[in-house]
Chains A and B, each alone.
Chain A
């Protein structure tokens, strides 16, 4: 089983039956692949200033 998946399941204290492990791995891989296609600009919450640019700082 994928090391990260094993660690995550352990941290959640969830025991996955042996017969499910291969499919859980496959799901994890699919979700990683999907995550890689996400448009990162959609992740920035417009209500929160996520970066600080001194050039844009208001004058003292």
Chain B
């Protein structure tokens, strides 16, 4: 069967359950792609080749004996390298933790393991998840499979790049200030940041503990739902875990949006956005209307204040996590990350608490907004995809600070812990554009519903990443 590595979880699971495809064939196909393209893309920090093949053979035997565990059984997945695997190295994309070995699995790893997933290895990331490029000084520069000179985004850039290049069928990322959604948008894949506490953070190295989320990264919205259903649910080992059962979203995705009200705050989400990005997003609105949704303008007062509040909380908490190493061995951090941690020492306790007050007030405001609309939408990122090594991106030909612009629109859902999906909605200059769908607390079903229905209209057409197939040009 051709191109098994490019199939979705949804497609493969049916074939695997029916015995038409073996997990061994799928895993081999994906590992072959990793062998061909990882030197170019640097999506993986470590590949578990032998273990993955052994797990695939075990899955094949188990399924053949009539013990099919569910839709992830025998499906090869990659995991971001800040999620712990027992007795294996987890680097956090860093030099300082280059030899760190956890004694336990992250809860999400245990849950995927119980679901029968095959682990391919650990995916590249921005050092300690503290940045949006995955230009990693210790484990290699991850590249965008759509254009090798472009950034895949970050911090879960390895996850996005692996999916776009068929080097994983599904993946896990983590998101503190947009680190699942940005690479999903820039790599033309799907990323879901669940509600804070919906998915356990146990065994995920912290970036900023009141903002950290673990979530699915996939090639389709339905696949994101399948992975979410497998990893969500209460975990006593995570103090912020919500006492809720696992989600059951994948089987409930609709084909129309009759009666669904979608809100857009144009003053925030469409201000200072590249025209081509805006065109893609407005076409998505039309597609959603065509499927029965009502799209209407709303105003969410105070969203601009998110930027300061999120930046303050994120850098203060991150600097707290790394305080000892920042003082004892600052030279072992990459330059950009060390700088961020130094800046995290500057705000006062008053400023940190004011940022938390803003968070509380905006949360209440947002709750009222979700009394009138089911979801909010906007572009995931406002700019064209930034080039690797450049600190600027372009908006209508004008250079803007890449980092600050990329974080701007993903910030509110991060700060407020709201479920948020990025789904491809077209291309600008030949590179993918993402639409983000933000839902109320515990509203994963709503955001997945909207993303899934948009996907039915195939906004990407037959476009897929192909630049990586050529490899990097040979230097003269």
Cβ-based interface call for A37 (8 A):
yes
Q: What's the least CB distance linking B410 to chain A, in Å?
A: 16
Chain A residues with Cβ below 8 Å from B308 are 31, 34-35, 37-38
Closest chain B residue, CB of each to CB of A30: B404
Q: Assuming the A-B contacts A8-B345, A12-B345, are A31 and B311 also in contact, with contact meaning beta carbons closer than 8 angstroms in the complex? A: yes
Closest B residue to A4 using CB positions: B346
The answer to whether B357 touches A45, judged by C-beta atoms less than 8 angstroms apart, is yes
Query: Which range contains the number of A residues in contact with the other chain?
Result: 20 to 34
CB distance from B328 to the nearest CB of A (A): 11
Residues in A11-47 with C-beta less than 8 Å from chain B: 12-17, 19-20, 23-24, 27-28, 30-31, 34-35, 37-39, 41-46
Question: How far apart are the CA atoms of A16 and B341 in the complex, in Å?
Answer: 10
Point out which of B301, B346, B354 has the most chain A C-beta atoms below 10 A from its C-beta.
B346
CB distance B326 to A14 under 8 Å?
A: yes
Contact of B307 among A5, A24, A34, A46 (CB under 8 A): A34
B401 CB to nearest chain A CB (Å): 9
Measured in the bound complex, the distance between the Cα atoms of B51 and A49 in whole Å is 60
A8-B345, A34-B311, A42-B357 known; A27 vs B339 contact (CB < 8 Å):
yes
Q: How far is the CB of B333 from chain A (nearest CB, A)?
A: 11
Q: Is B330 an interface residue (CB 8 A)?
A: yes
Q: Is B312 an interface residue (CB 8 A)?
A: yes
For A24, list chain B residues within 8 Å (CB): 339, 342-343, 346
What residues of B have a CB within 8 angstroms of the CB of A17 in the complex? 330, 338
CB neighbours of A41 from chain B (8 A):
361
Q: What is the CA–CA distance of A37 and B346 in the complex, to the nearest angstrom? A: 19
| CB contact between B312 and one of A5, A15, A31 (< 8 Å): that residue | A31
CA A39 – CA B301 in complex, angstroms? 9
Residues of A close to B302: CB separation below 8 A: 39, 42
Nearest-neighbour CB distance to chain B for A41, whole angstroms, equals: 8
Q: How large is the interface on B (under 10, 10 to 19, 20 to 34, 35 or more residues)?
A: 20 to 34
Decide: B312 and A42 in contact? CB cutoff 8 A: no
A42 partner residues in chain B, CB cutoff 8 A: 302, 305, 357-358, 361-362
* Contact A8 B346, beta carbon cutoff 8 Å: yes
Measured between C-beta atoms, what is the minimum distance from B364 to chain A in Å? 8
Point out the residues of chain B lying under 8 angstroms from A46, CB to CB: 361
Residue of A nearest to B336 (CB): A23
On whether the beta carbons of A14 and B305 are closer than 8 Å, the reply is no
Partner of B345, one of A9, A23, A30, A45: A9
Q: In residues 136-171 of chain B, which contact A (Cβ within 8 Å)?
A: none
Establish whether residues B362 and A20, one from each chain, have CB atoms under 8 Å apart when the complex forms: no
Structural contact, B357 and A20, CB atoms closer than 8 A: no
Q: Which residues of B contact A31 (CB under 8 A)?
A: 308, 311-312, 343, 346-347
Report whether A23 and B339 are in contact in the complex, using a CB–CB cutoff of 8 Å.
Answer: yes
Q: Which residues 361-406 in B have Cβ within 8 Å of A in the complex?
A: 361-362, 404
Task: List, sorted by A's number, 30 A–B pairs whose CB atoms are closer than 8 Å.
Answer: A8-B345, A9-B345, A13-B327, A14-B326, A14-B327, A14-B342, A14-B345, A15-B330, A16-B342, A19-B335, A23-B339, A24-B339, A24-B343, A24-B346, A27-B343, A28-B346, A31-B312, A31-B343, A34-B307, A34-B311, A37-B304, A37-B307, A38-B305, A39-B304, A42-B302, A42-B361, A42-B362, A43-B354, A45-B360, A46-B361
In the A-B complex, list the 9 residue pairs whose CB atoms are closest, starting with the nearest: A34-B308, A42-B361, A27-B343, A42-B358, A38-B305, A12-B345, A39-B305, A39-B302, A23-B339
